[in-house]
Copies of this chain bind each other. A is one copy, B any other.
Amino acid sequence: MELTKILRFSAAHALTSAALSPAENDGLYGPCARDHGHNYALEATVRGVVDGDGMVMDLAVLERAMQTVVDLVDHRHLGRDVPALAGVIATGENLAATFYRMIDRALPSGRLVRVAVVETENNRFEYEAAGEAR
């Protein structure tokens, strides 16, 4: 059984690599190299056996773990104002992987299986446990 909780936050970002010149960043990331922002959705999925209370995991426990992430990034500029993202190019891929690690540390071991970051209704980024090995 899988349980997915979804929270939302609004943040600004600009995709720029410190290893590149402004012109190179524009060439690589296009308009995304400029300051802009999104209403993000953060989705976290846990897996497990249903217990006698009918739950895989107390939804409040999962929400608290996710809320600690949201509190760091909501109404912030992801590239300039979030210490936990220092040095991280704020692509959806990097956000999903970083948020996965943060939520995973806050939950009982082995329960988190997937984190998705949805930037717009057209772009979705999804990180699965052991996903990099596949």
Give the CA-CA distance A19 to B52 in the complex, in Å. 10
Q: Which residues of A approach B to under 8 Å, CB–CB?
A: 1-8, 10-13, 15, 17, 19, 28-32, 34-39, 47, 49-50, 52-56, 59-60, 74-77, 80-81, 88-94, 96-97, 120-128, 131-132, 134
Give the CA-CA distance A124 to B5 in the complex, in Å. 7
Residues of B within 8 A of A122 (CB): 5-7
Give the CA-CA distance A71 to B17 in the complex, in Å. 25
Max chain B C-beta neighbours (<10 A), residue from A54, A81, A94, A125? A54
Q: A1-B131, A132-B1 are in contact. Are A6 and B38 (CB under 8 A)?
A: no
Task: Across the interface, name the chain B residue whose C-beta is closest to A17.
Answer: B53
| Contact (Cβ within 8 A) A38 B10 | yes
Residues of B within 8 A of A3 (CB): 92-93, 123-126
Q: Across the A-B interface, give the 3 residue pairs with the lowest CB-CB distance, nearest first.
A: A37-B37, A54-B91, A12-B12
| Contact (Cβ within 8 A) B125 A1 | yes
Give the CA-CA distance A13 to B10 in the complex, in Å. 11
A16 to chain B, nearest CB (A): 10
